[in-house]
A and B are shown apart, each in its own frame.
Chain A
Amino acid sequence: MAIRWGSYKVKGFYDELIRVTGKPRPAAAALCSYLRSLTDREIEEYRSAAEMAIQLMGVTFTVYTEDEGSIDRAWPFDIIPRIIPKSEWTQVETGLKQRVLALNRFIDDLYHDQEIVRDGIFPAALLKNSVNFRKQCIGIDPPGRIWAHICGSDLVRDKDGTMYVLEDNLRVPSGVSYMLENRLVMKRVFTELFENQHILPVDDYPSQLYDMLAAMSPRNIEQPEIVVLTPGIYNSAYFEHSYLAQQMGAELVEGRDLGVDKDDCVYMRTVDGLSRVDVIYRRVDDMFLDPEAFNPDSALGVAGLMRAWRAGNVALANAPGSGVADDKVVYSYVPEIIRYYLDEEPQIANVPTYKCINQEDREYVLEHIAEMVIKPANESGGYGMLIGPQATQKEREHFRKLIKKDPRNYIGQPLLTLSTAPTLFGNRVEPRHLDLRPFILTSPDSIQVTMGGLTRVALRKGSTVVNSSQGGGSKDTWVVDDEGV
């Protein structure tokens, strides 16, 4: 008897596996009783087996240090999975598809007639202020009018159990390789569990990604040339770039491997000469993509790439300029965006958001700043944020001034209490906060959502920071069939 569920306390949080102390949720019952049956020694064995598997498979993320150049670190992995019943996941999936469909329509509209602005739904001032709006993309028609082919949306659950979208990553979302590897590790370590219940598979992501990319090819040929464009080995997500290229059988290229010829086509330099490239899955940010069109000092990009893309001679995923729809202020308009383009009610909730550009909202935020989280529009990774309840009086005053000075740049949200899941420390389980990043692939004729996604967990007690660089780890995510049985 190693894991004692009786001492696992879930009061004040929504726990993903345990409903009330000692009582697992139905979808997690089999897992919890299995874990209870394990001895200390077995748990230790499983944990070191998982660690070994991670090392063997070379699952790493890269940390750059001055002295040694870049070093690869294994990302901490917790062997207790996070479980979502399929009936719930089906609803989330529908909501995400609806959301991404509307966001693509929104991006396409912004780069064309801007009807949503003309109809007074989305303020022109916000667009003018957006740092991710690329005027170089105005009037371009990417195939199927899809801009954000790959989207990673971050979901969190509040203490009452409601699932919210916290943000959408429409530029170069990462993490999917960890989702795939985590599952491989779990299948090696907990074979019995996979035999006895229906855990929905995630392994088909690379082939779905390949099919989606291949379908974008401007040339109608049997084997279009698909490449993954990486900033190089010093990028923190290099492992993922190389992993996805290998899984898809695509060439992993850097900017200097590619060139645009006089015919406005993209070629890669191979030892057999120049070879035409049809589709680029780019993992390089917009601003570094093409020194001719964007940052002229970029050495990571390909001069003339925008020219080739505009001419329709190469497909880019995600399309440049997609990021216009993932800043924090646009986020606050997503419910309106869904209603405007699809004439539907949002199926998955946004975190209630107060837009300081509206006078009413602004007054509410200024008054309740001590209970809220204040976020600037265009920063990511938690920069420039105020967490009201933890801030000093002085900090709050500072943010009041910032908001009054530039209201359109700020939003306010109530502070959510993230849900938890049991996480293994030695032979004890303790609750830790987590989020979830599913990945959504959009083709002209279908939208596909991963079964679950990447669960990131804050390993420090009480922390809600799940980033890999700041003490975060990950868990496998099981969508368990609770209907078919």
Chain B
Amino acid sequence: MKKISTPYLLLIPGMGFLFTFFLLPLINLAQTSTQTPVGGGDTGQYEQTLRFANYIDAFVENKEQFGRSFLYATIATILALAIAYPLAYAIAFKGGKYKNIMLVLVVAPFFTSFLLRTIAWKQILGEEGFVVPTLRTFGIISESTTLTSSAFAVVAGMTYNFLPFMTLPLYASIDRIDPRTLEASGDLYANGFTTFRKVTLPLSMPGVVAGTLLTFIPAAGDYVNAAILGSPQTKMLGNVIESRYFKIVDYPTAAVLSFTLMAAILILVTVYVRKAGTEELV
């Protein structure tokens, strides 16, 4: 009963847009990544030389930032998981009629500009804030340690900013668990911790996978947290890419790094999803 031509008519505008502004740029990026500067030309002038060695150069030069991006992203993802899981659990099982309000409250901080929030953290954790002097008074940290301009602050910022991305999928998955399966587990001699390990956690895996992906992917490419809360020692790959576009003009390197970042993420994601064994996320 449905005409065959209709889906294609509906798809053409949107997919055409995607093709032009997503695929084409990526192809262009790939194409840029193998270019080299024109000898004797102005900055910003490149020619296509199919120099695949660009990839090796860029990787060697920036392997520190590469490693750091993935390290920070992993730590932030793990921390976010640790913080969000109990929260999602609390909302799903103890929320009662306030569930929806609580969900709104999880997402609400998002409505304040993400930059304002990050800068707020910078000021709260900075010299003029109240956290550092308090910790110093109690002797928890020494006079010379600062919380901002540090890896700690960057990871903390990332963890904070991506919390809603972690919490919502977790909640969706945990909420689906029939509480009677937990009761059954108790009936069959499992204590609280064992029930969590053997019943709750496995049943919530789809949410864990979705949440960790939605957190890790943007985190790996992030540079704002590093820029605001970090220092030159905490530069991530994103910072390098940004500077190669705007400060030191070096498009091929920027292209290489972007591509490598994307490829690395795609590979990690594919391996991860296959290992965790879940169905479609979309």
A-B complex is real? no
Measured CB to CB, the residues of A under 8 A from B are none
Q: Interface of B with A (CB < 8 Å)?
A: none
